[in-house]
Amino acid sequence: MDDPKPKRVLVVDDDRQFLEATRLILEKHGYEVLTACDGHEGLICAERESLDLIVLDVMMPRRSGFGVLDRIGGRGDSGPRIVVMTANDEQRHRDIAQAKGAHGFLHKPFEMRELLSTVDTLLKL
């Protein structure tokens, strides 16, 4: 029997060290990982690729995570699950993310095991 196709995750963040660390951890746990360094690149990737989940930073150059959510967050069950992450701890950011279609929210800094748990839960692995 063939192995199931790995779930595809896009990680969008302007911190290249975070991108690399996240990619390595998610790949170690069986995910196929794509990365983007800013919101514009992330949006292009999200529109072109078939994705199961997007991990999306809010504060980025060229297009914010909320700007990306404006374009892809309203797809409901037909689109990828979206986890928003930000260092801003104001409740309104969580509320905005949810209103724009995010399925999860992480406050930076967080432990990688928290990110992995969120991804696993949203993808039901």
pLDDT band at 62 (very low <50, low <70, confident <90, very high): confident
Phi-psi map region of 7: left, alpha, beta (phi>0 left; psi -120 to 50 alpha): beta
Query: What's the pLDDT at 88?
Result: 87
The domain total for the chain is 1
**Alpha-carbon gap, residue 12 to 71, rounded angstroms:** 15
- The residue ranking higher by pLDDT, 76 or 27, is 27
Q: Does any domain span residue 17?
A: yes
Domain annotation covers residue 1: no
Residue 109 within any structural domain of the chain = yes
Residue 27 placed within a domain: yes
Residue 82 bridge partners (DSSP):
54
- Establish if 3 belongs to a structural domain: no
Peptide bond into 109 cis (omega under 30): yes
CATH code, 26: 3.40.50.2300
- Residue 103 is assigned to a structural domain of this protein: yes
Strands (DSSP E) contained in the chain are 8-12, 32-36, 53-57, 81-86, 104-107
Using the predicted structure, report yes or no on whether residue 75 has a pLDDT greater than 70. Answer: no
Domain residues for the domain of 99 are 8-120
pTM for this model (two decimals): 0.92
**Residue for token pair 């990737």:** 45
Q: Residue 86 domain-assigned? A: yes
> Band of the pLDDT at 66, cuts 50, 70, 90?
very high
pLDDT higher than 80, residue 1: no
Tell me, yes or no, whether 48 lies in a domain.
yes
Percent of residues, the chain, with pLDDT higher than 70: 94
